[in-house]
């Protein structure tokens, strides 16, 4: 504290009180603001976390288990990835000129959301014009009926990729890593992979306009955040019960900088580097998906980021023209936040903006 040597006791008391008050206010600000207020500068303490992938070795539990039908058939799997494929189309990318692979993470029962995407950028005419390809990445559920429906859905559309791991919140990191593995295994000629949640709205025209010129100069594209405080106890200030993390799961108090998890993009060469590094992991990955995939896994690889924070909307309250006039690339949970029909409305407006008329 910069107190003059001639400070009277009263001035010291006043200064101390001011300091304490400032401290309390700062603390309150940090606790109170749900998102932005929780952003802190990346702490140097994190350096000892660099060996994350090395600390424990439980690779035995992740070992690939062969499933045989009769005694010959082995479930299809991607080399170096322990979870076999239950539904797959190995030729999904063949014969098409695909610039970006759109891997949409959803759970088996989100049929309504998948259906909407198939009627928007999943449409064959739109997809081939944009040189994109959409696949839906899902895990498995215990329900035979859901599985049956999923397989029927895939018979109809052929765009579902199902891996043999349980569809749980704590396996979401696995699902995103599976998406990137699938990209490199079956869509090797695409330049980029987008991992996007099924409920996010995407303006691919605007996005691709920005992506194409940076294919040689950027490794990864997302809405970046600074470090966030680890959520230890559920409270009403943005630390929801399902983000609570124990010190055993993550020992430090802050996360490294990472991306908003509902949409992020990697260049194929960078995806290879990430997967290679992930291969050194010996335990299950940290289960907070965006923190692991876009933070812990990327930080030592020092990707050249393109930050599209200003082109992403996380909490849309009402439909605004910037949602479809080319300014926004991603809108998180448009339908859920604004209501049924919002996505369709924004899609129609987007088509109008780009002067596209679709045969009905």
Ligand X SMILES: *[C@@H]1O[C@H](CO)[C@@H](O)[C@H](O)[C@H]1NC(C)=O
Which residues of the shown chain bind ligand X in the complex (CB under 6 A)? 50-51, 53-54, 57, 59, 66, 74, 93-94, 165-166, 168, 170-171, 188-189, 191, 212, 215-216, 277, 280, 282, 341, 344-345, 348, 353-355
**Distance in angstroms (rounded) separating the CA atoms of residues 205 and 121:** 10
**Cβ 74 to ligand X shortest distance, Å:** 6
Q: In 3D, which of 198, 325, 321, 216 has the Cα closest to residue 263?
A: 198
Comparing CB distances to ligand X, the nearer of 136 and 186 is 186
Residue 130 beta carbon to ligand X: minimum distance, rounded to whole angstroms? 14
User: Would you call 255 exposed, middle or buried from its count of C-beta atoms within 10 A (0-12, 13-18, 19+)?
Assistant: buried
The smaller minimum CB distance to ligand X, of residues 53 and 181, is found at 53
Using alpha carbons only, give the angle 154, 78, 188 rounded to the nearest 5 degrees. Answer: 80
Q: How far is the CB of 30 from ligand X (least distance, A)?
A: 30
Bridge partners (DSSP) listed for residue 101: 133, 193
Helical H runs in the chain? 9-32, 111-118, 124-130, 144-157, 172-186, 204-211, 268-279, 289-290, 334-338, 342-353
Structure tokens at 26: 């700062």
Owner of token pair 């049924």: 340
Least distance CB 294 / ligand X (angstroms): 16
Q: Which is nearer to ligand X, 73 or 310 (CB)?
A: 73
Q: How far is the CB of 353 from ligand X (least distance, A)?
A: 6
The residue among 54 and 235 lying less far from ligand X, judged by its C-beta, is 54
**Minimal distance, residue 256 CB to ligand X, in Å:** 14
Taking each helix axis from N to C terminus, what angle separates 111-118 and 144-157, rounded to the nearest 10 degrees? 10
Report the residue number, 38 or 53, with the smaller CB distance to ligand X: 53
136's tokens: 């839906």
What tokens appear for 9 in the block? 């006791």
Task: Give min distance, CB of 53 to ligand X, in A.
Answer: 4
Closer CB to ligand X, 93 or 225, in the complex: 93
What contacts 164, CB < 8 A, 6 or more positions away? 67, 75, 83, 84, 85, 86, 140
**Closer by beta carbon to ligand X, 41 or else 44:** 44
């Amino acid at each position: 504290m910069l107190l003059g040597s001639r400070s009277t006791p009263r001035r010291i008391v006043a200064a101390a009180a001011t300091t304490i008050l400032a401290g309390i206010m700062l603390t309150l600000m940090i606790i109170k603001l749900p998102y932005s207020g929780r952003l802190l500068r990346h702490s140097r303490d994190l350096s000892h976390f660099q060996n994350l992938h090395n600390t424990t070795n439980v690779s035995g539990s992740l070992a690939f288990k062969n499933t045989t039908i009769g005694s010959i058939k082995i479930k299809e799997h991607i080399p170096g990835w322990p979870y076999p494929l239950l539904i797959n189309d190995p030729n999904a990318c063949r014969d098409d000129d695909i610039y970006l692979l759109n891997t949409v993470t959803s759970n088996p029962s989100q049929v309504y959301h998948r259906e909407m995407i198939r009627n928007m950028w999943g449409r064959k005419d739109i997809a081939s014009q944009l040189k994109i390809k959409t696949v839906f990445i899902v895990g498995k559920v215990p329900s035979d009926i859901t599985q049956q429906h999923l397989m029927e859905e895939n018979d109809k559309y052929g765009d579902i990729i199902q891996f043999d791991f349980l569809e749980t919140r704590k396996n979401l990191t696995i699902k995103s890593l599976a998406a990137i593995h699938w990209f490199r295994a079956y869509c090797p000629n695409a330049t980029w992979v987008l991992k996007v949640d099924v409920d996010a709205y995407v303006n691919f025209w605007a996005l691709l306009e920005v992506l194409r010129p940076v294919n040689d100069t950027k490794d990864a594209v997302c809405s970046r955040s600074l470090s966030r405080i680890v959520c230890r106890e559920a409270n009403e200030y943005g630390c929801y019960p399902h983000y609570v993390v124990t010190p055993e799961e993550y020992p430090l108090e802050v996360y490294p900088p990472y991306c908003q998890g509902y949409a992020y993009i990697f260049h194929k060469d960078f995806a290879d580097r990430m997967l290679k590094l992930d291969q050194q992991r010996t335990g299950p990955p940290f289960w907070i998906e965006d923190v692991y995939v876009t933070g812990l896994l990327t930080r030592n690889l020092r990707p050249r980021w393109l930050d599209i924070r200003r082109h992403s909307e996380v909490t849309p309250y009402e439909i605004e023209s910037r949602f479809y006039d080319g300014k926004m690339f991603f809108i998180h949970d448009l339908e859920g936040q604004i209501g049924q029909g919002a996505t369709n409305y924004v899609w129609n407006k987007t088509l109008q903006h780009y002067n596209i008329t679709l045969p009905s």
